[in-house]
Structure formats: C-alpha cells, structure tokens
C-alpha cells in the first residue's frame, strides 16, 4: 500500500476514534497521537518497511495511546506531562535511529558471513544436553515450592527471589546449564534462518527451547521467542496479514497459557483486566512518578539504570552505595489496578530527570538504527542480534529490558559475534 494512502487511512481512523461519543481527549493527547502517526508514516515513506525501529517505536506508542483513549479500561486518566515526556522520547529515538542510517562508517572487518562457523557442530549437542538439565532443574524447583502446580511454584520462587527470600539452591551442574541456555534463542535463530540444513537435532532443539520457556513460567521469555520469529519474517518480507495474525494469536495464546498455568486455585480470569494490566497500566504508573516529587537516590546519578556497574565501582574503591531495588519495585502502584512496571523511561527519568529521557532516547535510537542498518546490508550477525533483542523494542511500553538485563544483553552480542567470526579469526 502506498504511503500516502496508508497515511490518510490511518488519519481517518484516528480522527473517527478520537471523536467518538464518550471519548474524552485533551488537546495535548490529540496532538501527540497525531505526531506519532506522522512519525510512523514518514519513516514508512522513507524506507518502505515496517521493520525500522523508528516506525516500530512511533507506531507502537501511537497504538498504545489510541487504545488508552478509546477503550473503557478503568485506568486513571493520563496527564499532559506524560504526553510531553512520550513526545520527547519518540522524537529523540526516531530522529537518532533515522540519522544513523545515513552515516557512513569505515569497515574494518568483513561482516558478510552467510553462515555461522563450524563451532555450531559442537555447540548444538551441548545446548541440547544443557536444556534437558535446565528443564529438570525448573521441575525440581517448581516442585520444591508447590508440588501440586510446578508452574505456580516457579512463579512463587521468582517473587521470593525479588524479596531476597528464595532459599532454593540449584545443584552446580544445573546452575551451569542455566547459564548456557541463556543464549538458546540466538542459537535457535541461527539454526533456523542462517543454517542450511534442518535435521532431527535441530527439531529436537527447537522443541526443547519451547518447553524450557513454558517451564520458566515467564511471559516475556515466550515473547522474546515469538517476536524473534516475527522480526525475521518482517526482514524476509514474508510477513503477510495471515502470518501476522497467526503470530498475534500465538503470542497472546502463549502469554495467556503461562499466565493461567502459574495462577492459583480458584483464579477467575478477566481478559480486559489482563490486557489492561500488561499493556496499559505502565502508563498511569509512570504518570504517577512524573507527578510525584522524587529526590535522587544518592549522589550517584544512575543508581537504577546503571546498577550493573555498581559492584565494579565499589571494587575500584568508589564510595557508591547501590540498592538492588531502590524503589521497592516488587511492591505495587495502584492505577487503580496494581502494577509494578513503569515503561522504559522510568529509570532514566528517576536517575537524571528529563535529560535522562532525552539522552537515552538518542543512545538507544542510535543503537537500534545501527543494528537495523546492518540487517539491511545483509549482515547475518546483525539479523541475529536484532531478532534476539526485538522483544526489548516491542516491550518498551512495559519496562527497560536493555539495561535491566544488561549483562545478558552484552553476553548475547559477544556470543553472536563468536558464532560468526570465530572461524574467520581461526583461519587467519
């Protein structure tokens, strides 16, 4: 569909939705929604694709805000301050991710590797064995906390871990296996979309990865897997309307399945409440932070965003005090539904105020634009990284997964580079 037709259809849809009866909108919300729509359409018009991070970010926030304004969800109304912050975030992210695509960098190595290195022959059996051990480890942990519902038991262990009360200890071999399978998505994507042969071992591995993610009782781990496939399909231009619908149904179905598996006895499921809590509630939660005076935690600005580096600073002798959970995020903010997530912008704002939102929107926009540029150039290593991290891009309305799990992010990048460049270095 040409961009101008897409633009006018979307504008007509937005206007018709916003001017429906019983829909209350502020002038600020209206302006921001329209600007987000224009950013999405402009990006689509430039690159003729929906896979660019600028399009995904602007269109994602556009959809979230449109739904928030038009659906009877029962959550608190959003202030103009939140809309202004969203505008700062989207403009910084979109313009930096677009600008980096036009910057030329010197190429010092050959990035055009069409296949992972021969080390995969050794890694695949190791990952299969590690997955079997990790699945067994999850089983014994879930059974330890709840023998009637191991999924509920795994969930209970996660809650206790956040509160520092998890007394369960994996055997050493299970701990090692858990560390290994942390890169299972990168391996799976490499096998399915970069490798040329799909043998029995690949099929077994794929099934074990799916089982492991379900056993973890973690909705966002499942989302990482499915959204990685979505990103690959978008890149390969095989994302038809039917395929997108299938991905959407599978995504919601697996999220719902995991949610119900770990729910307690007598739990009554409410679909509207489920959608409201996971997709909409982070906005009023962050809005409450914006409209509440919060002093900086300490003289070290960055205690929450950069908490992964605090142990190193302390080792070097810096007097930096780190709180693993400075805002008691395992507690609840009522919107009025209980929620303990505050969008991707939360830590940046709390650590550095509005400047934090501006600076990190530019930094992350540059990162995502650079990765996407590598994907369009045909770099398979960039494709693996982009697909593995795609869930971070989609779930920015929920929380910051990039810095929250920074060491996992860093390890995934290093591991993916190893998969594609190790063989090259060995030959040299």
Q: Is the pLDDT of residue 251 over 80?
A: no
Instruction: Decide if 417 contacts 117 (C-beta within 8 A).
Output: no
Q: Which pLDDT value is given to residue 156?
A: 73
Instruction: Decide if 272 contacts 367 (C-beta within 8 A).
Output: no
Query: How much of the chain, in percent, has pLDDT values that exceed 90?
Result: 16
Instruction: Decide if 232 contacts 193 (C-beta within 8 A).
Output: yes
DSSP-derived secondary structure letter, 61: H
Residues 53-72: tens digit of each pLDDT: 999 999 999 989 988 888 77
Q: Which pLDDT value is given to residue 428?
A: 45
Q: What's the alpha-carbon Rg for the chain, to the nearest Å?
A: 22
The encoded tokens of residue 74 equal 């029962």
Range with lowest mean pLDDT among 83-87, 175-179, 355-359:
175-179
**Biggest alpha carbon distance in the chain?**
69
Give helix 184-193 / helix 380-388 axis angle, nearest 10°.
130
DSSP-derived secondary structure letter, 76: P
The encoded tokens of residue 263 equal 């729910």
Residues 109-134: tens digit of each pLDDT: 555 666 666 667 778 888 888 899 98
Q: Is the pLDDT of residue 75 over 80?
A: yes
Q: How far, in Å, CA of 219 to CA of 36, rounded?
A: 28
Query: How much of the chain, in percent, has pLDDT values that exceed 70?
Result: 70
Q: Phi and psi for 338 in degrees, rounded to 5?
A: -70, 135
The encoded tokens of residue 192 equal 């399915």
Coil/strand/helix, residue 323: coil
Q: Please name which of 206, 221, 137, 226 lies closest in space to residue 405, comparing C-alpha atoms.
A: 221
Q: Which pLDDT value is given to residue 274?
A: 67
Q: What secondary structure does DSSP assign to 122-178, as a single string? A: HHHHHHHHHHHHHHHHHHHHHHHH-SS-HHHHHHHHHHHHHTT-------HHHHHHH
Band of residue 420 on the pLDDT scale cut at 50, 70, 90: confident
Report the pLDDT averaged over residues 230-258.
71
Q: Which pLDDT value is given to residue 424?
A: 47
Q: What is the pTM of this model?
A: 0.82
Q: How far, in Å, CA of 159 to CA of 372, rounded?
A: 36
Q: Is the pLDDT of residue 325 over 60?
A: no
Report the pLDDT averaged over residues 165-182.
81
Q: Which pLDDT value is given to residue 24?
A: 45
Residues 333-344: tens digit of each pLDDT: 888 888 888 999
Residues 205-227: tens digit of each pLDDT: 888 888 888 777 677 777 788 88
Q: Is the pLDDT of residue 22 over 50?
A: no
Residues 377-411: tens digit of each pLDDT: 888 888 889 988 999 999 999 889 898 888 888 88
Q: Which pLDDT value is given to residue 1?
A: 44
Q: How far, in Å, CA of 262 to CA of 152, rounded?
A: 4
Q: How far, in Å, CA of 170 to CA of 193, rounded?
A: 34
Residues 128-172: tens digit of each pLDDT: 888 999 888 888 887 777 777 777 777 777 666 666 666 677 888
Q: Which pLDDT value is given to residue 409?
A: 87
Instruction: Decide if 60 contacts 93 (C-beta within 8 A).
Output: no
Q: Which pLDDT value is given to residue 85?
A: 92
Residues in Cβ contact with 277 at an 8 Å cutoff, skipping those fewer than 6 apart:
337, 338, 339
Q: Which pLDDT value is given to residue 190?
A: 79
Residue 96's alpha-carbon distances to 37, 90, 387, in angstroms, are 18, 10, 20
């Amino acid at each position: 569909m040409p961009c101008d037709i897409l633009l006018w259809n979307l504008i007509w849809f937005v206007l018709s939705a916003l001017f429906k009866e019983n829909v209350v909108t502020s002038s600020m919300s209206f302006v921001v929604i329209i600007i987000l729509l224009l950013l999405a359409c402009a990006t689509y018009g430039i690159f003729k694709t929906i896979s660019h991070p600028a399009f995904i970010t602007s269109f994602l926030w556009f959809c979230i805000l449109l739904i928030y304004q038009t659906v009877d969800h029962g959550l608190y109304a959003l202030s103009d301050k939140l809309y202004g912050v969203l505008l700062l975030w989207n403009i910084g992210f979109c313009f930096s991710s677009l600008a980096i695509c036009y910057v030329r960098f010197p190429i010092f190595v050959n990035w055009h590797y069409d296949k992972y290195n021969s080390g995969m022959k050794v890694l695949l059996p190791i990952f299969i064995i590690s997955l079997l051990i990790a699945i067994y480890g999850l089983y014994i942990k879930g059974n330890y906390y709840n023998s009637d519902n191991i999924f509920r038991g795994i969930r209970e262990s996660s809650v206790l871990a956040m509160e520092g009360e998890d007394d369960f200890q994996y055997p050493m071999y299970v701990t090692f296996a858990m560390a290994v399978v942390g890169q299972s998505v990168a391996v799976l994507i490499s096998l399915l979309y970069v490798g040329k042969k799909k043998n029995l071992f690949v099929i077994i591995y794929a099934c074990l990865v799916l089982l492991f993610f379900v056993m973890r009782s973690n909705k966002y781990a499942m989302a990482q897997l499915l959204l990685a496939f979505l990103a690959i399909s978008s890149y390969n231009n095989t994302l038809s309307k039917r395929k997108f619908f299938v991905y959407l149904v599978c995504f919601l179905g697996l999220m719902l399945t995991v949610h119900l598996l770990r729910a307690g006895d007598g739990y009554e499921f409410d679909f509207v409440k489920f959608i409201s809590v996971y997709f909409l509630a982070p906005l009023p939660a962050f809005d409450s932070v914006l409209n509440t005076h919060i002093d900086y935690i300490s003289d070290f600005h960055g205690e929450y965003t950069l908490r992964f580096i605090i142990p190193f600073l302390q080792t070097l002798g810096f007097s930096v005090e780190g709180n693993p959970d400075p805002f008691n995020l395992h507690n609840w903010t009522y919107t009025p539904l209980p929620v303990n997530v505050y969008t991707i912008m939360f830590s940046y704002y709390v650590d550095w105020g509005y400047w934090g939102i501006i600076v990190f929107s530019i930094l992350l926009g540059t990162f995502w634009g650079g990765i996407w540029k590598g994907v369009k150039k045909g770099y398979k290593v960039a494709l693996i990284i982009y697909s593995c991290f795609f869930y971070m891009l989609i779930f920015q309305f929920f929380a910051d997964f990039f810095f929250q799990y920074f060491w996992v992010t860093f390890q995934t990048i290093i591991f993916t580079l190893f998969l594609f460049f190790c063989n090259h270095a060995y030959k040299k």
